[in-house]
Structure 1
Amino acid sequence: MLLPALLLLFLVCRTQASHVYGTMMTYYPKNMGADGSISVILRYKLNYLTCPYVDVWTCSGNCGNQTQSFLSAQVDVSSGEWCQREGIMTQLVPNNSPLQLVMSTNIWATNLNGISSRTAVTFVELRTRSDTGKPNTSPQTTIIPVVKAPSNCQTYVDLLAFDPDGDKVRCRYGDDSSSECSPCTPPPILNLSSSCTLSFSPTPSSAEGLYVIQLVMEDFPTQNMVLTQSNCSQEVKTTSSAISKIPVQFVFKVLPAVPSCSDGLYLPRFLPPTPENGAQFNAAVNQSLEITIRAEATQSVITELLFSGPYDVVKITSGSGNFTLRWTPSDISDKEHLPICFVIQASFNSSVYQSELRCVVVGVGTTPPPTPFGFHGIV
């Protein structure tokens, strides 16, 4: 049930926000009560042109009560282009039957695939799995609001797609018939593999501009399993049956052609000791973790590091091309695997180029996740 203050905030902000740059949501079941109740942590990102905007999700099904709500705090900002914020909700549900959350407000930034209104859907599956003996956890992912590619360069965007339960993670475009977006028209310039890689091929300058990406990320068991509800009803999930689903929505921007597509010239190139894509880190609650990131671009000027992750990650700049991400996890993150993704930006004349997208996973007070881990190569 939504609190009156949240409803008011929703009504005020709905009339203002007309420059949406995407959203996403993940969930982690936490404490289970003796009465069968479950506490669920819901994390979501809101991407807008500027920071003040806030939105809410409406719940249907086994909603229970919202026992704690942290209204979004700034994650990162790209001046004059976008701001990403993170919100955290704790939902106490009376049993382990599913629930669904929907955001259906505000207007996307002007784009070339004709998307106007934003709709995003999260299906939260909490029934007990026969393979783990626990409620299901959603795939975990994140991404910056705007991913860029020059119009003349072959580009791959390898989305972070991992699952704490060891499930197979797949991506698809949203479906109009399931009301997962409105409309769900995919961008014609991109190809999506089921393993969550977007590929872009060189295209004419007439295709330069913004495109809305509206993906659905789902987890599939690696072998048949049974989901059991509190009332003892059961459902068999096969390897072709999705368990849960989360929205992954952002903007892809096609830039004017760059003089060279080689990394390290105009397009920034990562240098050691920058972690490889898919690297795993372990962290303890209330202890700081530092991730060192270095990059070079000999023909352009590196301007900034942009990242998406927990809102309390601190970004430190120590000279051109030298950055550190520092995070001190709090209690709410304990026993979770949380993602951090980042790019380096560099400017040349009036153009701003990006490096490849890299992502890492931080396990807070946990052991490494089971395989398959879910960082997928180019398909």
Structure 2
Amino acid sequence: MNSIVLLIFLYGLVYIVDANHFLGGTITWHVLNGSATGTPIAIVITQTYSWTYSLITCTNTQIATSQLIPVGGAYTRLLTETLDCIANCASGTTGYVAPNIVPRCSDISIPLGITIGQRSDTVFLQSGSDFSVAYQDFSWRSLVVGAAANWSISSRINLTPRSDNGLYNNAPVATLMSPISIPRNQSIAIHIPVADPDGDITRCRWSTSSNGVDECRDTCSPNSLPPNTVIYPNCTIIIIGQTVGDWFAITLMVEDFINLSSTTPLSSVPVQFLVQVVSPPTCTILPEVIGIPVEQACIPVIVGQTFNSQLIAINNCGSNVTIVDIATLSFAGMSKGNIVRLNMTTYYKTFSWTPTTNQLGIQVQCAMAIDRRKEDVRKK
């Protein structure tokens, strides 16, 4: 029987600039065999992290061949760091062997100065396992909250059989490109794209450090964010930056629930990213991204068979502005062509991907077009 990967396309609508070192990430997991009922259970843990391109540099060849991100100097510690248990470790983690942190090259954008890496590892756990894992390190770039804030990106893994069907749960998949820039003194809505393999109800909340689970270390929201920043259960954040040049780390958790009335999450996955406050751009019309397939399409892809797609970007700011990249946050092994200018307003980029067994489940691709003039870089 063919193994199916579900591929979801999401195109963002915010601004973006480059930054330093670690830029955020997310951790999710799913059961390898969705109909499994016995023990031990094989689960696939997927880690996605973003870095500064000038410090950790991948190439298109390394992306196409799923090579580990090249690290050296101050970042050689990545080679030995692991996704460690941080809560309920004594009894809830039987069989857990912590996977490495260092990811495989998945995306780059030289105009934005970002490198994105992802890795998926299979671990074997006992039925009833319920514990939290985290990637903890130092430090974020200089933030309003502090010059050398530490991070903790934590995910809760829960393999208690579900009460509705007796099967094991699969965690939500959520992702967002980082860093994002927001115009000063404007109310900006940032929506976190979320998908759930089981079709469960999903809700977002701020990350916390409580009850022995540290989800955010020095950047727990909303205390680390501008005044009156709020998050809604539908995973929309409303934020107003007041001072140009301020940087903030946004840390949140996405949780799935068995039904609308439930207040007990089945699992928790993190989303962490950076925000910078910038001066408002002269042209406020963002470039468009048109996908083939279209935005929010959910496409079944068979393991071992090549899937081809194309993204088209439209410039809406006249001849003084050019689109310099169609940047993506995708997954290991996706080959990407160079951006091609079709005419004065239209650009495109092609993609090709052959999924592997380790990539079974939901894979989400985010994309944006970046246009440039002399003074600013913007994205949709």
TM value normalised by structure 1: 0.76
Q: CA deviation at 1:253?
A: 2.5
Could you tell me whether the CA contact under 8 Å between 1:70 and 1:89 is conserved in 2?
no
1:131 aligns with 2:164: yes
Unmatched tracts of structure 2, length 5 or more = 1-19, 57-70, 342-346
Percent sequence identity is: 21
What is the CA–CA distance in structure 2 between the aligned matches of 1:35 and 1:330, rounded to whole Å?
A: 24
Specify the alignment match of 1:255 in structure 2: 278
2:235 to 186, 196, 202: 196
Q: Distance in 1 between matches of 2:291 and 2:217?
A: 43
Does 1:303 pair with 2:305?
no
The equivalent residue for 2:294 is 275
Across the aligned residues of Structure 1 and Structure 2, the Cα RMSD in angstroms comes to 2.5
Does residue 179 (structure 1) correspond to residue 220 (structure 2)? The answer is no
The verdict on how the C-alpha distance between 1:33 and 1:260 changes in structure 2, with shifts beyond 3 A counting, is closer
Higher relative contact order (CA 8 A, sep 6+): 2
The question of whether the paired residues in 2 share the 8 Å contact of 1:67 and 1:92 is answered with: no
Matched, 1:89 2:114: no
1:24 aligns with 2:48: no
Q: Which amino acid aligns with 1:324?
A: T
| C-alpha separation in 1, matches of 2:336 and 2:187 | 30
For 1:105 and 1:67, the matched residues in 2 are separated by 16
Whether the 8 Å contact between 2:127 and 2:161 is mirrored in structure 1 is no
In structure 2, what is the equivalent of residue 231 of structure 1? none
1:293 and 2:311 aligned? yes
May I ask how many residue pairs the two structures share in their alignment? 316
The aligned residue for residue 341 of structure 1 is 366
Partner of 2:67: none
- Quote the residue 1:47 is aligned against: 50
Distance across 1 between alignment mates of 2:99 and 2:235: 32
* 2:254 matched residue in structure 1: 217
Relative to structure 1, is the Cα distance of residues 261 and 63 closer, same or farther in structure 2, using a 3 angstrom cutoff?
Answer: farther
CA distance in structure 1 between the aligned counterparts of 2:98 and 2:188, rounded to whole angstroms: 43
Q: Distance in 2 between matches of 1:180 and 1:325?
A: 34
Equivalent of 1:57 in 83, 93, 102 = 83
Partner deviation per Cα, 1:135-189 (whole Å, 9 max, x = no partner): 0100012222222333365543221112111111111111133421123143216
| Structure 2 contact 171–269 (Cα < 8 Å) conserved | yes
The equivalent of 1:3 in structure 2 is none
C-alpha distance after superposition, 1:235-290 (max 9, x if no partner): xxx6111111111111122322111322xxxx3122465622x2211111111222
Does the 8 Å contact 2:244/2:279 carry over to 1? no
Are 2:359 and 1:324 equivalent residues in the alignment? Answer: no
Tell me, what secondary structure is at the counterpart of 1:118? strand
Q: Offset of 1:95 from its aligned partner?
A: 2.9
1:246 — aligned with what?
269
Residues of 1 paired with 2:356 and 2:292: CA distance? 26
| Farther off after superposition, 46-55 or 129-138 | 46-55
User: TM-score with structure 2 length normalisation?
Assistant: 0.76
CA drift at 1:68? 7.5
Q: Which SS does the other structure have where 2:358 is aligned? A: helix
